[in-house]
Amino acid sequence: MTASTFAAPWNPIDWPLTTGPVPYVVLVMGWAALLVLAVGRGRNWWRVRLPSALGSAAALLAVLAFVVDEWWFPFPGGIPLRVVGWTGVALLGVSLVVHRMIGLTWRRRLLAIGAGALVALMAVVQVNIGFGQFPTGRVILAPWLVRTERSIPPHVASTTNAPPGRPLSEVWVPPADLPEKGSIREVPIPGTRSGFEARDAYVYLPPAYEATPRPLLPVLILLSGQPGTPGDWLFGGQVNERLDAFAAEHGGLAPIVVMADQLGSTWNNTLCLDSRIANTYTYLTVDVPDWIHQNLQTATGRGSWAIGGASMGGTCALQLGVNDPDHFGTVLDISGQDEPTLGTRDETVEEAYGGDSASFDAVDPLQVMAGRKFPDTAIALLVGEDDSEFRPQLEHVRTAVEAAGMTTTFELVPGGHGWTVFGGAFEREIPWLAQRTGLTG
């Protein structure tokens, strides 16, 4: 149950931005504005200025695509075609505005600028529909609306643990004063052993964590995609609201979720490896678990710990589940790739290991699974049914994990590659995660 589920129709910040009338109205207004900008008077407009505007927009798009894909290269698979197309539309709108400025009064110039802004807004809305990161204005404003705290509740002397062979829910008795919702904490997790400079993590603590005696809850480490931030799962994926809804039906019980940083910065790609780029693997398998053990009271053992993520974060979850099975008995891979990548395999190996392909093969999950079985690991693989890039890769992963003996779930989710899929897939698997980690039967 998310913010969009309880959207108040009278409140504009709750109006859907990826479905319903708002994006369609913006689309119609944007195309109308582009048409108004494109239609001019006189031969000079049709023979010179309009072709010049089209050429300028095309040239700007080509330069931008080259800089992003060949020089900056933040997307291992290249800029998504949807982004390229709508960026081109926005640039065309800007170019038309510039070419119309000559000879116009200030009033008409302001009108032209307003039309150009409508075109740009249309492009932004259409890109957002593709990624689904901001389903409502409330999600856009979430960093300011979601209440977070900097401190972690202190340890308590009395705890409740799951008895051997039975789920925690069978022995848990929620107190009368249990909070209705969980809490969000924003905390630094230092790279003590790894030296990795991580951004602050977000921690979701279920309502039951505030009770005394405190139930020892399972842990899920959740990773964002790339580009991304630790808060993406909170603000785009609405993890807290989805888990609060689950907790409301299970006496306040839900997994503790640590939304850790595996990137270091929004556009960086560390590959979740210990390499020449960063020691991210040690950070996620040593520093983060050590911090959790020191600061939180949780269930222990690989059966109570899960690793998950979406897109590059899903790839990372697969890597950690395969390379550190002693920590993680459950893996949630949403729309991940079949191997960590910076583009091509040769580029990845060169950047990470100086061309040493053997070092890469030693940690590449598909290569590791080819020589080792994982009968005690369970993995859920979910991907958008319209995701033409990542669906074939996750189907490849499915073949590999089944051959490696993992207990495997594979599901297609309506949509493509974005937060509409990621958030919905996570919500769908909460009961599975709870059952796998000993929270429920």
Residue 116 and residue 87: Cα distance in Å, rounded?
A: 13
* Whole-number Cα distances in Å, 205 to 247, 248, 305: 11, 14, 15
Strand 148-149's sheet: what is its strand order?
A: 148-149, 183-187, 201-205, 256-259, 219-223, 305-310, 330-334, 378-384, 407-413
Residue 407 and residue 327: Cα distance in Å, rounded?
A: 17
198-207 pLDDT per residue, tens: 999 999 999 9
User: Structure pTM?
Assistant: 0.86
Counting as low any pLDDT under 50, the low residues of the chain are: 1-7
Residue 30 and residue 179: Cα distance in Å, rounded?
A: 46
pLDDT at 6: 43
Residue 184 and residue 149: Cα distance in Å, rounded?
A: 6
Which of these CATH numbers, 3.60.110.10, 3.30.1130.10, 3.40.50.1820, 3.40.50.150, describes 146-436?
Answer: 3.40.50.1820
The string of DSSP codes covering 376-428 is T-EEEEEEETT-TTHHHHHHHHHHHHHHTT-EEEEEEESSSSSHHHHHHHHHH
Of 320, 297, 284, 326, residue with least CA distance to 191: 284
Residue 437 and residue 429: Cα distance in Å, rounded?
A: 12
Residue 320 and residue 327: Cα distance in Å, rounded?
A: 9
Residue 163 and residue 380: Cα distance in Å, rounded?
A: 26
In the numeric block, the tokens 């979601």 are attached to: 146
Of 423, 438, 434, 429, residue with least CA distance to 410: 429
pLDDT at 2: 46
In the numeric block, the tokens 């991210």 are attached to: 280
Residues with Cβ < 8 Å from 193, sequence gap 6 or more? Answer: 282, 283, 286, 287, 290
In the numeric block, the tokens 């009961």 are attached to: 431
Tokens of 420: 């509409």
pLDDT at 110: 94
* Whole-number Cα distances in Å, 53 to 57, 63, 205: 6, 15, 54
Q: CATH 3.40.50.1820 residue ranges in the chain?
A: 146-436
CA geometry: angle at 334 spanning 329 and 336, to 5°?
A: 95
Cis bond leading into 179, ω under 30°?
no
Residue 95 and residue 97: Cα distance in Å, rounded?
A: 5
97-140 pLDDT per residue, tens: 999 888 788 998 999 999 999 999 999 999 988 877 788 887 88
According to DSSP, the β-strands at 256-259 and 305-310 are unpaired
pLDDT at 76: 64
End-to-end CA distance of the chain: 22
Residue 209 and residue 252: Cα distance in Å, rounded?
A: 8
